[in-house]
Amino acid sequence: MVAFSNGYLVDNLTEALKIRSEFEVTPYAGGTDLMVEAKDDAVYLFLNKIPELRRIYSDDEYIRIGAACTYTEIFENTLTPQILKDSIDYLAAPAIRNMGTAGGNICNASPKADTALIFYVADAKLRICSASGERILPIEDFYVGRGKTVLQRDELLVEILVPKFGLEHYYYKKVGARQALAISRVAFAGLFSTENGIITRFAMAFGSVADTILRFRDLEALFVGKTMTEAKSLRDDLIAKYDQAIVPIRGRVSADYRKSVCMNLLEDFLNQNGI
Amino acid sequence: MNDLIHFTLNGEKVTSDRSANERLLDVLREDFKLTGVKCGCKEGECGACSVLLDGVLANSCMVAMGSIEGSEVVTIEGYSETKRFQALSDAYAQTSAVQCGFCIPGMVLACEALLAKNPNPTDAEIRKGISGNLCRCTGYNAIVEAVKIAAREGKGLW
């Protein structure tokens, strides 16, 4: 461990958790969000040289992505599902992809976070550790509001657990004002699978719309287990329900604009899947 | 407490007594007088402060000093000693890819990072490679052309 003025650099997770429990520190993974502010009084716990946070591996169920893996590392890893690669391909620009991390994208808790949207729709779970133990929770339960999470002051996000299966048939669109370095105006990710004509997976997540990424599991459930014919007959009803459920807030763009784009993307997603 | 920060800068081992939360950009310009590293926006939008950090392109405005302990930093000043730089420099000259020059140190390092990974990039790949580096003078076409020339005439360097 190296203790600097205004920072601690460690090379293993155990020590990082110990410092996290003993001192008031801001976890620093890639710095690409934190350094925009670059507060003079910030005391950072540098996580970028901890091997346990920088590996990507898989078990029977999940691809496990270390929280301090950079976007570039995730993009270049053969285990990474294509939907996640697509979101990284349109994220910022090379220099930021080389430094920014998936864990930072999640913990910064912006509803515009490009990779968090994918983790949402994919039913990813977060492995969170402290010196006294660990917990695993669905990413949806991690967020309390814009910039607010349930991460306790002695905890660190260690791994993102992305389900290995069911992500093959996806739809992803990021609507921004430019191609590179765009902060999304609306982002949409959808998953759709059928087995023997029955819908087995139907999931949609909306980013940059409200204080957190939006997902409506009760509405998704209306389509799961249905035949394509049944889904077609329910289409208008589903669209009407989403129209009610999505209540965008005004940001850089108007709430009306966001709403229109959300609904257009939802319809396009249904069209592409023959509903 | 107050340990020095050790890193390698353009091939030389150096130390810094700056705070761990300070920007690499400021340390490079103010303490090491490496003013080829430009400050354009301080939020990762313009790429003028690009350096190579452990071999990859990074915006030095978004790097806190404490994160680079033991790392290797190359700025345009160090890179300009290389044959690869010469190939890029000649190519930029051929296409008149430089006007005011403010973006060029970062742009050249972005081109280096691209060619190091992909020695024969397509137009689209070049545009993607330099997509984080803003140029307000030439409008990119001359730069894209220069990268293609450098890739061709500098064959074997990357």
Selecting from A3, A32, A46 the residue whose C-beta is nearest the C-beta of B62 gives A32
Of B78, B108, B136, the residue at which a domain comes to its end is B78
Q: Measured between alpha carbons, how far is residue B122 from residues A175, B7, B145, B149, B151 in Å?
A: 25, 35, 10, 12, 10
Closest among A36, A54, A41 to A7, alpha carbons compared? A41
Residue B30 belongs to domain with CATH number: 3.10.20.30
A35 with B62: Cβ contact below 8 A? yes
Using an 8 Å CB-CB cutoff, list chain A residues near B59: 32, 95-96, 99
| CATH architecture of residue range(s) A2-163 | 2-Layer Sandwich (3.30)
Q: Does B39 touch chain A (CB under 8 A)?
A: no
Residue of chain A whose Cα is closest to the Cα of B51: A95
CA distance A34 to A62: 29
Q: Is the pLDDT of residue B1 over 70?
A: no
The ipTM estimated for the assembled molecules is 0.96
Using an 8 Å CB-CB cutoff, list chain B residues near A49. Answer: 67, 69-70
Residues of A at the B interface, defined by Cβ within 8 angstroms? 2-9, 28, 31-32, 34-36, 38-40, 42-44, 46, 48-49, 72, 92-96, 98-99, 179-181
pLDDT at B2 over 70: no
Across A39-48, A178-187, A207-216, B129-138, least confident range: A178-187
Rounded Cα–Cα distance for residues A195 and A215 (Å): 23
Domain A2-163 and domain A170-272 have a common topology: no
Q: What is the DSSP letter of A101?
A: B
CA distances from B72 to A146, A197, B6, B38, B54 (A): 36, 56, 10, 19, 5
CB-closest option in B53, B66, B110 to A94: B110
* Per-residue pLDDT, A180: 87
Same domain, B100 and B69: no
Q: Supply the pLDDT for residue B84.
A: 98
The pLDDT tens digits of the residues spanning A212-233 come to: 999 999 999 999 999 999 999 9
Query: What letter represents residue A231's amino acid?
Result: A
The predicted-structure confidence for B54-74, as pLDDT tens digits, reads as follows 999 999 999 999 999 999 999
Neighbours of A178 (CB within 10 A): 8
Three-point CA angle B103, A29, B67, nearest 5°: 65
> Are the beta carbons of B64 and A31 separated by less than 8 Å?
yes
Confidence of residue A103 (pLDDT cuts 50, 70, 90): very high
Q: Would you tell me the crossing angle of helices A82-89 and A114-121 to the nearest 10 degrees?
A: 160
B3 vs A4, A31, A96: nearest CB:
A4
d(CA A49, CA A247): 41
Task: Please check whether residue B72 touches A, CB under 8 A.
Answer: no
Least CB-CB distance to B56: which of A7, A98, A180?
A98
Task: Give the residue numbers spanning the domain of B119.
Answer: 82-153
CATH number for the region A170-272 comes to: 3.30.390.50
| Domain boundaries of chain A, sorted by first residue | 2-163, 170-272
Place of tokens 């791994």: A159
